[in-house]
Amino acid sequence: MDELKRVLLEAAKAGGAIIKEYFQGSFKVDNKTSINDLVTDVDKHSEKVIIDTIKNTYPEHSIISEEVGELIQDSDYNWIIDPIDGTVNFAHGIPICCVSIGLKYKEDLLLGAVYNPIMNELFFAEKGKGATLNGEKITVSEKSEFKKACLVTGFPYKWPKTYEHPIKVFERFIMEGLPVRRLGSAAIDLCWVACGRFDGFWEYNLNPWDVAAGYLIVQEAGGIITNFDGEPYDVDDKETLATNGVIHNDMLKLIRSNI
């Protein structure tokens, strides 16, 4: 496990160094599925450095990464990578962006790292051993009064008609008088729940690379993460609710109040 941890942190820091080097600099920006679903050449550069770092030690491991897709091999180990979570923020010079890397062994998430090099914040978790920020132990908040909770969410670029529109759900939280923020990086949202800055986070239509590392970090910091039915979470789920645990049922009730 020590060698896996070393490679994970080395890869996260290598990708973060690329982000920091080009932040507020010159780079090429393209569109993916929509006009505001962006990818930059820095995403691709960061991704290559991360994958090369992993493959140098573990060439036989599988990889799922946002830009290159699936590099599947006959291995029980699977690295789940977002080379820049918060690309729109990065492209606009907003310092809320990060590298996110999770490592699964079979169906278990073993390790997770989320690194924001602009703010110099490295979140890390190892299954069963807690979560840290820059090496210091972190825990979720103890906020128990839902009316005083501070929440964070995000919105997808395209919304499938099979779900209730996220603005309607967002409105229910606002009508309760709750402060809700939108940072533009699900990985950072999850980490900020894990360290107690936020008390809860919900979002629809996230991908495994958005949540794999943050999911483990929330759990290891003492939080709860489920889908919107309150069932145990899986990184392939399209509904994500992460909280300090105390306000989890309150958030579920609001999210599901129209069902």
pLDDT in tens, 166-206: 888 999 999 999 999 999 999 999 999 999 999 999 998 89
Domain that holds residue 182: 146-255
Q: Could you tell me if 121 and 189 lie in one domain?
A: no
Q: Do both 101 and 125 map to the same domain?
A: yes
Q: Which of 87, 153, 240, 243 is catalytic?
A: 87
Residue 127: which CATH number? Answer: 3.30.540.10
Same domain, 15 and 123: yes
CATH classification at residue 194 = 3.40.190.80
Residues 86 and 182 in one domain: no
225, 193 Cβ separation under 8 angstroms: no
203 CB-near residues (< 8 Å, 6+ apart):
153, 154, 155, 156, 186, 189, 240
pLDDT of residue 163: 66
* From 30-34, 64-68, 120-124, 168-172, the region with the lowest mean pLDDT: 30-34
Let me know whether 13 and 125 are in one domain: yes
At residue 33, the pLDDT reads 59
Domain boundary among 138, 155, 170: 138
Using the 8-state DSSP alphabet, how is residue 146 labeled?
G
My answer on whether 113 and 193 are in the same domain is no
Q: Are 127 and 14 part of one and the same domain? A: yes
CA angle 217, 11, 199 (to 5 degrees): 20
Give the model confidence (pLDDT) of 81-118 as tens digits: 999 999 999 999 999 999 999 999 998 999 999 999 99
- CA dist 127 → 130, 131, 188 (Å): 7, 9, 19
Mean pLDDT to the nearest integer, 221-249: 93
Whether 66 is catalytic is: yes
Query: In 3-state terms, what secondary structure has residue 28?
Result: coil
State pLDDT tens for residues 197-215: 999 999 988 999 999 999 9
From the candidates 18, 50, 80, 84, give the one annotated as an active-site residue. 84
Average pLDDT over all residues of the chain: 91
Provide the pLDDT for residue 69.
76
Q: Does 69 share its domain with 93?
A: yes
The Cα 133–Cα 153 span in angstroms is 21
Confirm whether 84 is a catalytic residue: yes
Is 33 tagged catalytic? no
In this predicted structure, which of 35-39, 44-48, 135-139, 208-212 has the lowest mean pLDDT?
A: 35-39
Tally of structural domains, the chain: 2
> Within this chain, do residues 47 and 133 fall inside the same structural domain, yes or no?
yes
Q: Are residues 94 and 218 in the same domain?
A: no
Q: Establish whether 82 is a catalytic residue.
A: yes
Which of 82, 189, 237, 250 is an active site residue?
A: 82
